Amino acid sequence: MKKNFTFILLLVFFSLSFIILYLSLNKVETYVPKKITNKNIIKFSAQDLFSNQEVDFNNLVVKDKLTIINIWASWCQPCRNEHPFLMKLADNKKINLIGLSYKDNNKNSKKFLDEYGNPFSKVLVDKDGLISINIGAYGVPETYIINADKKILKKYIGPIKKENYFEIIGHANEIN
């Protein structure tokens, strides 16, 4: 009798533990190392991929548009996955999409854009990756949403997914 009781108690206990651990699995939050949102983006200038002229990033931020920096590279596999979303974002008139080509060969970058299409209004070259580090990037691809005051509203680590796409569109619609 006593034994059966212990048996049932153990079963109940472990079943409950199972349910709780199962629930906690769905609560997993991705770990963002440093909080950089709501801060001003750093000042930087870089070469344009096509014209080879030095461009100051400050001049690229437009008043009535949402500026997006997308750090990418032709050798980066996940960048190919997010590319269709970038193409769609480029169609939105309230979005100014700027590419930052990370540690890439210029020839390969151009080839990549020829092949998949060019969503960017401007592509800047970050040859040694220092600009990306200074912006606060951890890898490619990464995407930064910047408002007219040059504040970082949001940072996406890894490729843009469907839900991120709609979030960005939402941000764009807030601009009058």
Residue 116 in contact with another protein, rule: CB under 8 A? no
Q: Which of residues 83-112 bind another protein (CB under 8 A)?
A: none
Residue number with CB closer to another protein (35 or 93): 35
Residue 131 in contact with another protein, rule: CB under 8 A? no
Q: How far apart are CA 24 and CA 161, in angstroms?
A: 23
Q: Are 128 and 56 in contact (CB under 8 A)?
A: no
Residue 166 in contact with another protein, rule: CB under 8 A? no
Sequential DSSP letters for 129-148: SHHHHHHT--SSSEEEEE-T
2, 3, 63, 93: residue in contact with another protein (rule CB under 8 A): 3
CA-only gyration radius of the chain, Å: 22
1, 2, 27, 93: residue in contact with another protein (rule CB under 8 A): 27
* DSSP code of residue 70: E
Residue number with CB closer to another protein (76 or 89): 76
Phi–psi pair at 107, nearest 5 degrees: -65, -45
Residue 24 in contact with another protein, rule: CB under 8 A? yes
Residue 1 in contact with another protein, rule: CB under 8 A? no
Strands 45-48 and 122-126: antiparallel
Residue number with CB closer to another protein (32 or 175): 32
Q: How far apart are CA 58 and CA 103, in angstroms?
A: 22
Q: Are 144 and 135 in contact (CB under 8 A)?
A: yes
Q: Taking contact as CB under 8 A, which single stretch among the options 44-52, 57-65, 72-80, 159-167 is the one that binds another protein?
A: 72-80
Sequential DSSP letters for 13-37: HHHHHHHHHHHHHTT-----SS--T
Q: Taking contact as CB under 8 A, which single stretch among the options 18-26, 40-48, 51-59, 144-152 is the one that binds another protein?
A: 18-26
* Residues lying near another protein in the complex (CB under 8 A): 3, 7, 10-11, 14, 17-18, 20-29, 31, 75-77, 129, 132-133, 137-139
